Amino acid sequence: ETQKETLGFQTEVKQLLHLMIHSLYSNKEIFLRELISNASDAADKLRFESLAKPELLESDTELKIRLSFDKDANTVTLEDNGIGMSRDDVIAHLGTIAKSGTADFLKNLSGDQRKDSHLIGQFGVGFYSAFIVADQVDVYTRRAGLAAGEGVHWSSKGEGNFDVASIDKPERGTRIVLHLKKGEEEFADGWRLRNIIKKYSDHIALPIELPKEHHGEEEKDQSAEPEWETVNRASALWTRPRTDVSDDEYREFYKHTAHDFEDPLTWSHNKVEGKLEYTSLLYVPARAPFDLYHREAPKGLKLYVQRVFIMDQAEQFLPLYLRFIKGVVDSNDLSLNVSREILQKDPVIDSMRSALTKRVLDMLEKLAKNEPEQYKGFWKNFGQVLKEGPAEDFANREKIASLLRFSSTHDASGEQSVGLADYIGRMKEGQDKLYFLTGDSFAQVKNSPHLEVFRKKGIEVLLLTDRIDEWLMSYLSEFDGKHFVDVTRGDLDLGQLDTEEDKKAQEEVAKTREGLVERLKNVLEEQVAEVRVSHRLTDSPAILAIGEQDLGMQMRQILEASGQ
Ligand code: ADP
Ligand code: MG
């Protein structure tokens, strides 16, 4: 070994390591899933790069993962012939965490192991999970295309620092040796490893091999090359017919593809044939990633062309308001050398995008209908993002609107639980509008004097208290043929909901108050556009209403706060 140096882990890595070792203890076998997932990604990357540079494959073209173990030394070794890493790659990928927002995220950790293990799930565990079972990890790697002498040896005990040194490594790819902790001997065992692979990694598209077990008389010759056998199914999961894939396989595939630690909420797997041919497997995550609102957060699908991995985060296949959807799209129509620039212009992509968008909206509709409890969870995590939909995707706004959930005067808890269809189902005889009130919080709007007349008449009002709501409503003028009406605006025409008696009484009141109105107009001349007798109040003497064409209250406040 030459050029040896010792480097410190980035602070965030140290925190993550500490957290992982202490909070994922009951789920420790997932280290293998993570390492296999990385090896599979490394094979995908090599296959992709070799499209343009076939020489990268050297003479070693059968991509695979090999897992072996040594009971005496208490080690497990995982070897792949994928893309490998250069010295710089190693230092960057196995010494730091590059995700934006990591430091902020880690500040939220409480020290309570149960809570933190959830948070870490949101973050993704990855390579460092090796230290759940190992007290030393050695990585030997060489990047495809570099000379044999440019191999790298990374070694760490998972504490504050790691060593890197240059080595000779004739075979391309990465070998990881886990020195198991005392008490973790169970993992240096063929059956145990095989079972873990079957459980978590059966869907991995390249072969995962274990040494063949020898039984009885045919004692193995220690010096001979071991024989290997493939233990997983080794075919791309999305190419298999739906009926052939179990729910558990779909879940494990999700975790690998989305780099998530938790099960997805639901998924939709479809093969499209005809003018365009492609397969899509789309997932709704159960929880928002920690960086959902970071501009640079990963989004988009994993793109394959005829089974060959092309790119991660292909953003062109779904609109932004569906950026939380994860999954794979495999096209037979695109060229293998398709690039992000080409994706942006290709009309094929436009039609795939609108078809995939429909698929997602249908999947959400189904979830809302069949699993209302789960949909509630979905709404808590992603509702705010979905509210960007009507503005971005005019064509689907009715469909998106049906997926929205609001607080309303119908539900005293203030929870965002009311769908527009529910609201319409409860509309009063003669009501043909959808009434809403926007404000800063449920507590603030629920006692608004604007609601008095509605309460009196028993008419439900949607209470919109998210920052984005007023903006949302400026793109949502109607639903199911009925107009939305802001209850703070102008003279509410609730006429058809009044009885004849009501009307007569109102006219009389108006007459007797003419003098008062005149006096108020004179006094308030400068401050208001108009003074009217209103029938919308029952308890409050007066109310400030907004003109039909004026900006809403929330927008005014936002503009004022930004100094406009
Ligand atoms: P993630 O897989 O979510 O990117 P990981 O912590 O699992 O995060 O891995 C970190 C990075 O280390 C990977 O993105 C990759 O660049 C590199 N890496 C890990 N394992 C391998 C491997 N077997 N071959 C090549 N690169 C690897
Ligand atoms: Mg990983």
What letter represents residue 453's amino acid? V
- Separation of 356 CA from ligand 2 center, angstroms? 26
Place 553 in a pLDDT band, splitting at 50, 70 and 90: low
pLDDT at 518: 83
- Known binding residue 231? Answer is no
Q: What is the pLDDT of residue 537?
A: 65
123 is in an annotated binding site: yes
- Could you tell me if the CB of 470 is within 6 A of ligand 1? no
Instruction: Taking residues 252-263, report their average pLDDT.
Output: 92
Question: Alpha carbon of 211 to those of 220, 243, 371: distances in Å?
Answer: 11, 31, 45
* pLDDT class of 23 with cuts at 50, 70, 90: confident
Q: Say if residue 455's pLDDT is above 60.
A: yes
**Higher-confidence residue: 25 or 230?**
230
pLDDT of 564 above 60? no
Pocket probe mutation, ligand 1, options 19, 20, 32, 38, max atoms within 8 Å of Cβ: 38
In tens, the pLDDT along 509-542 reads: 777 777 887 888 888 877 777 777 776 666 666 6
Output the pLDDT for position 115.
73
Q: What is the dihedral of CA 499, 502, 508, 510, to 10 degrees?
A: -100
By alpha-carbon position, which residue is closest to atom 1 of ligand 1?
126
Q: Which residues, 6 or more positions from 288, have their beta carbon under 8 angstroms from its beta carbon?
A: 122, 324, 381, 382
> What's the CA gap between 484 and 482, in Å, rounded?
7
Buried b (16+ CB within 10 A) or exposed e, 217-235: eeeeeeeeeeebeebbbbb
Spatial CB neighbours of 440, under 8 Å, sequence gap ≥ 6: 465, 554, 557
| Mean pLDDT for the stretch of residues 456-468 | 93
180 vs 133: CA distance, rounded Å: 6
CA 473 to chain centre: 25
How high is the pLDDT of residue 154?
98
pLDDT band at 504 (very low <50, low <70, confident <90, very high): confident
Q: Whose CA is nearest to atom 20 of ligand 1?
A: 38
* Separation CA 140–CA 155 (nearest Å): 9
Q: Average per-residue pLDDT in the chain? A: 89
| Residue-level pLDDT at 19 | 82
Residue 532 has a pLDDT of 74
Whose CA is closest to atom 21 on ligand 1?
A: 38
- String of b and e for 23-49 (b: at least 16 CB within 10 Å)? bbeeebbbbbbbbbbbbbbbbbbbbbe
Q: Whose CA is nearest to atom 13 of ligand 1?
A: 93
Pocket test for ligand 1, best of 41, 99, 154, 309 (most atoms within 8 A of CB): 41
Whether 495 shows a pLDDT value over 70: the answer reads no
The residue-averaged pLDDT of 407-421 equals 95
Contact 363, 398 (CB under 8 A): no
Q: Is the confidence at residue 327, as pLDDT, over 70?
A: yes
User: Of all residues in the chain, what percent carry a pLDDT higher than 90?
Assistant: 66
Residue 199: CB partners within 8 Å, gap ≥ 6? 248, 252
Query: Is the CB of 16 within 6 Å of ligand 1?
Result: no
Contact 382, 424 (CB under 8 A): no
The first and second tokens of residue 331, run together, are: 């096209």
pLDDT in tens, 517-526: 788 888 887 7
Any known ligand binding at 125? yes
330 lines ligand 1 (CB under 6 A): no
The residues whose Cβ lies within 5 A of ligand 2, an ion, are 37-38, 126
The beta strand positions in 396-500, using DSSP E, are 407-408, 433-438, 462-464, 478-479, 482-486
**For ligand 1, atom 9: residue with the closest CA:** 127
On whether ipTM exceeds 0.90, the answer is: yes
- Residue in 259, 219, 264 with CA at minimum distance from that of residue 364: 264
In the predicted model, is pLDDT for residue 325 greater than 80?
Answer: yes
Beta bridge partners of 438: 464
| Contact (Cβ atoms closer than 8 angstroms) between residue 486 and residue 438 | yes
Task: Determine the pLDDT at residue 551.
Answer: 65
337 a known binding residue?
A: no
Q: Is residue 365 a contact partner of residue 268, using CB atoms and an 8 Å limit? A: no
The pLDDT, as a whole number, for residue 252 is 95
**467 annotated ligand-binding residue:** no
Stretch 170-178: mean pLDDT, rounded? 97
Residue with tokens 């609107």: 401
